[in-house]
Amino acid sequence: MGMTRRWTAEILLDEDDLGTTRAAVRLDTSEDEHLHGLAMWQVPDPEAPSEAGDDVAVAEALSQIAAKLRQQATSHASA
């Protein structure tokens, strides 16, 4: 019989007055493991509004977590 596992991700976004967006992502796996990703994005022109900062910062933070998951999978497969 199959088994269902739940993984949850928490994403925290912060933007300062200079247009720097920070994304912190925490992935909680069903094995009680926590993986973290942290990324920043600086708007090229602080005077011009930009909505891309959240997307870019979150994508980079999630990419870091993906790399950690791949590394773990590779080391588990080699063991």
Looking at residue 48, what is its pLDDT? 65
- Ranges of residues in the chain with a pLDDT under 50 are none
Residue 62 lies in a domain: yes
pLDDT digits (tens, 9 = 90+) for 22-34: 999 999 987 778 9
CA distance 76 to 34: 17
Tokens representing 54 are 């959240």
Residue 1 lies in a domain: no
CATH of the domain at 72: 3.30.160.240
Number of domains in the chain: 1
Residue 64 lies in a domain: yes
Q: 68 lies in which domain range?
A: 8-78
Residue 3 lies in a domain: no
Within 13 A of 26's CA, how many CA atoms are on the CB side?
7
Amino acid, single-letter form, for residue 75: S
Judge whether 50 and 35 are in contact, CB under 8 Å: no
Residue 72 lies in a domain: yes
Model pTM score: 0.84
CA separation (Å) from 46 to 16, 20, 42, 60, 78?
A: 10, 9, 9, 21, 47
Residue 35 lies in a domain: yes
